[in-house]
Copies of this chain bind each other. A is one copy, B any other.
Amino acid sequence: MPLGVFDSGLGGLTVVRALRAALPYEEIVYLGDTARVPYGTKGPATVTRYALTCANHLVARGVKAIVIACNTVSAVAPERLRVELDLPVLGVIEPGARAAADATRVFKVGVLATAGTIASGAYPRALSACSTRIETYGQAAPLLVPLAEEGWTDGDVPRLAARRYLEPLARAGVDVIVLGCTHYPLLFAVIEEEARALLGPQVQIIDSAKAVAREVAAFLENRALLRDSSLGEGSVKLLVTDLPKSFDETASRFLGSEIGGAEQVDL
């Protein structure tokens, strides 16, 4: 049985990339809700409704577990998904928060995320659960999603946008910054460079995709749900709700390798 992964659009492919590195034998079905992207600027009720539609589609395709590869959905909808669906549902926020809590020395963590994720308060909650000493500073950075989707990942525009979003975190004195949106790893180099210039060379940037992949691997192993390695390397099936052709073109940027043949589904 495959692993189901969904996101509002392309961003979740950075999680697929990390999952493939950690779990090369797993079959993965990825659903990108490109007809309704982005989720990050929308309200919790709307995001929850869309997330249920996506998750139910994956359940109908017989997945063994669902990874929510979207911070906005992970912030507002995981409990509802767990109640409605009769299978394991893993989000991206707790693994990223745990990695940040392990990394901080000054107990001040910055979070860059969409407006929806910041408004939800999910990161402060998850970080407080790791250590009550940690102070969390959230910064909505909505422009980083269209920059990543547009492919403007270096040059002056993303640099100046990143700087503007990082300045409040620099003033707060954080030493760790969580990329709280699955699109942001595409801008990792620019964000890291600007963060080092503003906050000093010791600043750590957490890409939660890798933390998620580690936790998913441990979860599948504990539940004896891993696919048998004797079956050979797993494949990735891409589903989208709109524009499969342009999805193929940009998916390789996110996935770090060429995987064509995205199929359009109607939710």
Contacts and interface: CB of A to CB of B under 8 A. Distances in A.
A152 B142 CA distance: 11
Interface majority SS on A: helix, strand, loop or mixed?
A: loop
Contacts of A146: 142-143, 145-146
A243 interface: yes
Interface stretch (A40-48, A87-95, A204-212, A222-230): A40-48
Contacts of A150: 142-143
A128 interface: no
A36 B145 CA distance: 16
Interface string A239-267: 00111000000000000000000000000
Contacts of A242: 42-43, 46
A161 interface: yes
A51 to B, nearest CB: 13
Contact of A156 (B42, B43, B147, B160): B160
Contacts of A157: 143, 157, 160-161, 164
A143 B150 CA distance: 8
Interface string A37-65: 10001110010000000000000000000
A146 B37 CA distance: 13
A104 interface: no
Interface of A: 34-37, 41-43, 46, 142-143, 145-147, 149-150, 152, 156-157, 160-161, 164, 241-243
